[in-house]
Amino acid sequence: MAGCCDTTARFDGMSDSYKRRLWIVIAINAAMFMVEMVAGHLARSQALQADALDFAGDALTYGLSLAVIGASLRVRSMAAIAKGVSLLLMGAFVFGSTLYRVVYIGVPDAGVMGVIGVMALAANLASVALLLAYKDGDANVRSVWLCSRNDAIGNIAVMLAALGVWGAQSGWPDLIVAALMAGLFLSSAVQILRQAWQEKRDANDHAAAR
């Protein structure tokens, strides 16, 4: 893995190709947020709405990633910390709303869930393919990759939830998948924050050594 030792510089996003790909991925995520939020509301699907929030969060954090490309390591690490905190909050919100829905479980529309799940998966596989070459960069770049990977995993999970809802005629598969997605958000947030804090410490040590 690139950047495993202190003597190897991690990719920091300073590439015109990377920036172009990031703009495309931002557009994909913004469009799919609107599609999934409407579909999730109409289908009464917590999993779809959780995935829609993930799309929205990704579009915003990718924009932040673009804004800090070329900045100092300290600034980039602080941006990554902000993104990690936002993932923690998103995971907590999805988990909390899922617990709330357990009190009243309606049966989502499995057909809508399945169709939108396929659309979202195609969009996210395209994003993953665009960003695959840059998955081992600094905390700022790596957070983009982790968010895109989460989206693809989440879309597969939504499709499995749709299949479960259709087969069981129950809302429980939808709620279980939403809870698992919340866990994925929290896990990624911890990874991003751990790397970002280490890079922030490295930047502070470098500045102190001057």
Above 90 in pLDDT, residue 134?
no
Sorting pLDDT into bands at 50, 70 and 90, what band is 6? very low
Q: So where are the chain's domains?
A: 16-209
User: Which pLDDT band holds residue 4 (cuts at 50, 70, 90)?
Assistant: very low
- pLDDT for 87 equals 75
Q: Is 174 helix (H, G, I), strand (E, B) or coil?
A: helix
Output the pLDDT for position 109: 67
Residue 87: how many other CB atoms lie within 10 Å: 28
Cβ neighbours of 45 (radius 10 Å):
32
* pLDDT of the residue at 7: 37
Query: Rounded to 5 degrees, what are φ and ψ at 26?
Result: -60, -45
Angstrom distance (rounded) from CA 171 to CA 62: 33
Q: Express each pLDDT in 20-58 by its tens digit.
A: 988 999 999 899 899 988 888 787 777 677 778 778 877
Look at 17-26, 53-62, 168-177 and tell me which has the smallest mean pLDDT. 168-177
The whole-number pLDDT of residue 27 equals 93
**What are 87-130's pLDDT values in tens digits?**
778 777 777 666 665 555 556 666 777 788 788 888 888 988 88
Asked if the model's pLDDT at residue 75 lies above 70, the reply is yes
Mean pLDDT score of the chain, rounded to an integer? 76
Q: Residue 24 has what pLDDT?
A: 93
- In this predicted structure, what is the pLDDT of residue 2? 33
d(CA 119, CA 40): 13
pLDDT for position 169 = 73
> What tokens appear for 124 in the block?
């996210």
Please report how the helices 139-168 and 73-103 are oriented relative to each other, as an axis angle in degrees rounded to 10.
20
Domain 16-209 belongs in CATH node 1.20.1510.10: yes
Give Cα 131 distance to the centre of its chain.
13
CA Rg, the chain, in Å?
18
Rounded to whole angstroms, how far apart are CA atoms 187 and 196?
14
| Residue with the two structure tokens 């001057």 | 210
For 85, the 3-state DSSP assignment is helix
